Each structure stands twice: as C-alpha cells, then as structure tokens.
Structure 1
Amino acid sequence: MRHATLAALAIAVFALTGCSAAAGSGGPDQPQIVVTTNILGDVVGEVVGDQAEVTTLMRANADPHSFEISAQEAAMLGDADLIVSSGLGLEEGLQQHLDRAAEAGAPLLVAGDAVEALPYASGDAAGAPDPHFWTDPGTMLDVVDAIEVSASEIDGIDRTKLAEHADAYREELRTLDAEMTSAFEAIPQERRALVTNHHVFGYLAERYGFRVVGAAIPGGTTLAAPSAADLRELSDAITRAGVSTIFAESSQPDRLVQVLASEADIDVRVEELYTESLTGPGEGAETYLEMMRANTARISEGLTK
C-alpha cells in the first residue's frame, strides 16, 4: 500500500473538494476506506472506529442520485483498501467510477447486496429495487454485519476491536428501532399515510405499518420531474387519504409546496425531513442516528396534529 502517496492525495482532495473523513476515523498511515454516501460514511466510521481512515465522497446536504466526484477522488477509489457503496441504482452519477474500480480489482462492498431489497410498489420505478434501505434501522443491522465482515479482511484491522465497535453500534440501532416503534404506535392507524416528494420511505413503511399514499416525483430518483398527470394523481390520493401533512426532503420543501399549490390546486402542510443525506454540524442530522430520530419526531408530530 502506498501510504505516502495516499496521504498526499487525501490532503489534495480535501483541499480541492471539501471531502471530509467520517467521525472516528484514524490517520493517514492506517488502512484507507472510501465510502460513497455520507449516511454510509457515518455508519462505517462507527463500526471501524479509529482503526482506519474513512473518507466519505458525498458532501453534507448533497443528493446521492446526482452527486459526482473529481478526478482526484476517482483516483482514491483505485488505492482504497475497501470501497463501500450503497448500490441498488442509488449512486447514478458515480456508478461508472465504481465499475471501473471493481474491474481493476479494488475490494468493494455494495451495502444493497447485504439487505433484502424491497421493490418500489408504484410509480415509474415500480418493481425495481428500492435503494433507500436506511429508512429502516432493522435493515441497517444487516449492513453493519456486512461492514464488519469486509473490514475484518483488511490487513491491520484488529478483529476483536472491530467486533466491539460493531456490537456497540448494533445496540444503538436496536435502541433506535425501539424508539421509532414506540413513537409510531402512538399514531392512529388510519393516519399512518405517507406522501413525500419522491419514493423514499418504502422500508420505513414496511417495518412500522405505514401506507405510502404517493409521491410528487413518481420514480425512485430525484432526477425525474412530475408531469401534470402525476400531480393530479397525487392530489387525488392526498384527498382520498385525508392527509393534512406531507413530507419533503429538507433541501426542497418550498418547491413541493409551490408545485402542489400551482399545478394541483391543493393546500397542505409540508414538513421537512432528512431523507437522502446527512447535514453539516448543528443542522439537525449530523449522524445517521440523529437523522432518524429527527425524522421520527417530525413524522409523529405531522400525522397527529
């Protein structure tokens, strides 16, 4: 492993692009793990602790469907001791680089391969695998298991310490799941209807007994745009379900309100959620656990008003 080259390259990348290492990461003389999305980056950092340098490519508040990387960042993939991606079609702007790194023999963990993927139930992507598995902390237990197995194969990783960190984080996920279960059970069954700006909560709905009524963008990607027919269908679904609050990704709630008001002639309250990305420090969803707790509180409040 070319540690000096990796250290210099990492410094250059951080200076040029603002890439950040996940919390708990080690130093430049340690194994190098490169993670595509910041949600996975946070989880990987928690599992490996200070035993590896964890570099997350996706910046805070970015869109995993559309973010791209620089040539310097692409080069990091080829030198990594492990690459962790989400998969299931999520990283649309990055897939060519991941494919190239895999073809060159880079160790690659695709988190989506470790879970029981649910299909999109409706919309343009109906039947295709849904990549938003992180909305179910129970499913994330399978991801943690896969991270532990892959990280244990890296030279220089202490498997005992790795197991301790993985076990501790699994317990955090179980606690989160219990909290979410308790909060959502307080919502009357007839009010457990989710409308979002795009299909992202299939896993959460499956685990906690929600109905996904519809989405402003009918596909599974934020790169699509709703048609007039899509908006009419969504308006009808909202009316039938008696939904008073719909949920939108925190980066674009105003856009959804404006579209529904002007194109579908419907007036509903829109609550912001963190669905695709973690935020910067102090912005409400700096870690995966913080993101899920914030979303749980907002969904519970929005559906019980």
Structure 2
Amino acid sequence: MTRTVFLAGLMAVAALIALPMGGAGSTSARAEAPLTLVATTGMIADAARQVGGDAVKVRALMGPGVDPHAYRQTRSDIVAMTRADLVLWHGLYLEAQMEEFFHDLARKRTVVAVAEGLSKDKLRGHDDYADKFDPHVWMTPELWKDMIEEVQKALTDARPDQAEVFAANAAAHLAELDQLIAYGNGILAKVPAENRVLVTAHDAFGYFGRDFGFEVLGIQGISTQSEAGLNRIGELVDLLVERQISAVFVESSVSDRSIRALIEGAAAQGHEVRIGGELFSDAMGADGTYEGTYVGMLDHNMTTIAAALGAEVPPKGMSGRLSGVGL
C-alpha cells in the first residue's frame, strides 16, 4: 500500500468519525444493545466473546489463514472500527503495518492494545528489534490467561455495569484454560526427550517451547516478514540429518515452500523427513469449528505435535479425552 493510499484511508477515518452517532433518545438504546467490538486477530476476538458473552457483538478482522504480520486494514475494516464501541488490537509489533492507523484512531475512539498490558518480564525478546518482544503470546495458555484478564479490563472499562458478568465469564474461561494446560503438560510429556525438537516455518512457537520443554527452530524469524535465506535452510537441513529429526510442521497462515525445501534438502542427503501436520500459528481454524476457538486451536497444536513426535494421544485430543473418547 502506497503512502498516498494510506493517507486516503486516514482521511476516510476522519470523515467517518465526524458522522453523527444517533439522535435524541439514542443513548439509552445504545446502553441496552450489545457492545460492538472489533478485534484484529481471531484469538483476541475469541477472548472477547468468551469474556463478553451475550453482552458483546464481536467482529474479527483477520480470519483463518491470514498472516497478521503483513495485514493492512481495508476500507471495510476502517468503517467497522470507526463505528465500533471498542477496538482491541494485539500490540507488541504484531500488526506492524497498522500501528500508525491505530494510534490515529485512538484519538477519537476507545482503542486498546491488549498485549501491551502484559508484564514484560514474562515476554521473550524480539530477534530483530532490541526494544520489542515476541508477540506470539497465545502459544502458551499460561500467558493467554493474562490476556484474558486484560480483555476483561477493557470490556469492564467500556461497560462498568456489566462488570460482574464479565468477571464470571472470565473465571469460567480461565478454568477451561487450566484444563488445557493440564492436558498439554500431560500429553507433551509423553514425547521422548530426543524428539522434543519443533521445526516450523517461522519462529512463532517460542513461548510454547519454553513452557512445554521443546527446542523450537523456525526457518524465518519471529516475523514472517523476515528473510528465509538459503543459508538458514542449509543449516536446518544439516541439523535434520545430523540429529535424525523425522518430522517438521507447516503452518496454516504461512506458505509451505520453505518447509518443503527442508524436506527435499534432507532427502538429497539420504534422510527422510515428513510433514508432521499443519499447525495453527498466527491464525485459528475456520469459523464455527472447534479449531476456530482458542482452546480448539491449542488442543489441535498440542495433539498434532505430540502424535507426530512419538507420543500416544487420544483420538480427538483434549475434547476426546474430556468426552471419554479413546480412554
């Protein structure tokens, strides 16, 4: 997007913000209506739905397969955000292409960068920027619990009269996340120690590796906008062969080209490597599916990784375990 087009978008924002929001008598009607909320990522949208329940109406800008590192707002996005009661974006330089827009919008609308409220001592440093952090905090449910609390704060600030509802919903979801953590600890502990190497398209799984005891190797860095050079691919091919790593993983929101280059490079050296499965890294699954929820996304990733790297897993992951399938 050129700077001219971007500036045109900002002018559209200014025009939309200037529109009247309703005539006489509209205040009480808006107070009774659900809080209209726009979230950038599917993960934040899911958090808002879990905490807000029936008191919110949520739109996610980025759907399945969308890379937030490269996403730019469309005109329809601008319209939705300027008309929303609340806009939640991730922060931590995840939506780098949109930051200037959000800072401009925040002068007229309630806009919250949810992950910026996290304690920095819990975050990993960024491999490309000394003053920034790894934004992939959704990869560990422990950190995501803090994100749920930040979403709860934002919703409560927007609708104080619904504070008790938001608190109860958040508590119920946090309990669900505790179940997810217990499942992950149990299933991933079954992966043999020598197999605890997670090779993916980009470095999105650092928090996952830190919390569950895996070495994580990405072809690209923390951002998909970083280069996937031939030297890096060559280094990883040699590592796959030397350590006899048998499975690598593709990501739903990243091209599989570099991963397939690893497989071909290893094959050229006489070592067979297979794709262990597709993981959700920067986007969740399809709307209306289990994998289209935060819990389903992480359950899928945990179960897929464990199964591909040598653990025995329930046929339907955590959802199967809780319903008694395969036990």
| Both proteins in one fold, TM over 0.5 | yes
Matches within 5 A, 1:246-257: 246-252=248-254, 254-257=256-259
2:151 to 130, 147, 151: 147
Partners of 2:130 and 2:260 in 1: how far apart? 26
Deviation, structure 1 residue 221: 1.4
Partners of 2:274 and 2:131 in 1: how far apart? 30
Question: Contact 1:38 / 1:59 at 8 angstroms: preserved in 2?
Answer: yes
Q: Which amino acid aligns with 1:197?
A: A
Gaps of 5+ in 2: 1-18, 24-29, 312-327
List structure 1 segments (4+ residues) > 6 angstroms apart after TM superposition: none
Go from structure 1 to structure 2 and tell me whether the alpha carbon gap of 1:173 and 1:54 turns closer, same or farther (over 3 Å shift): same
Aligned residues: 281
After TM superposition, the score normalised by the length of structure 1 is 0.82
Partners of 2:130 and 2:240 in 1: how far apart? 20
Tell me which moved more, 150-159 or 136-145.
Answer: 150-159
Gaps of 5+ in 1: 6-25
Match of 2:68, SS state, is coil
Match of 1:216 in 2: 219
Go from structure 1 to structure 2 and tell me whether the alpha carbon gap of 1:230 and 1:211 turns closer, same or farther (over 3 Å shift): same
Partners of 1:171 and 1:132 in 2: how far apart? 22
Match of 2:303 in 1: 297
Partners of 1:76 and 1:60 in 2: how far apart? 19
Q: Which protein shows a greater Rg?
A: 2
Deviation, structure 1 residue 72: 3.3
Pair 1:272 & 2:278 matched: yes
Match of 2:173, SS state, is helix
Deviation, structure 1 residue 297: 0.9
Match of 1:11 in 2: none
Matched residues, percent identical? 27
What is the RMSD of the two structures over their aligned residues, measured on CA atoms? 2.7
1:57 to 39, 48, 61: 61
1:172 to 160, 176, 189: 176
Question: Contact 1:28 / 1:53 at 8 angstroms: preserved in 2?
Answer: no
Tell me which moved more, 69-78 or 223-232.
Answer: 69-78
Deviation, structure 1 residue 105: 5.1
Go from structure 1 to structure 2 and tell me whether the alpha carbon gap of 1:262 and 1:225 turns closer, same or farther (over 3 Å shift): farther
After TM superposition, the score normalised by the length of structure 2 is 0.77
Question: Contact 2:39 / 2:45 at 8 angstroms: preserved in 1?
Answer: yes
Question: Contact 1:48 / 1:165 at 8 angstroms: preserved in 2?
Answer: yes
Matches within 5 A, 1:228-243: 228-243=230-245
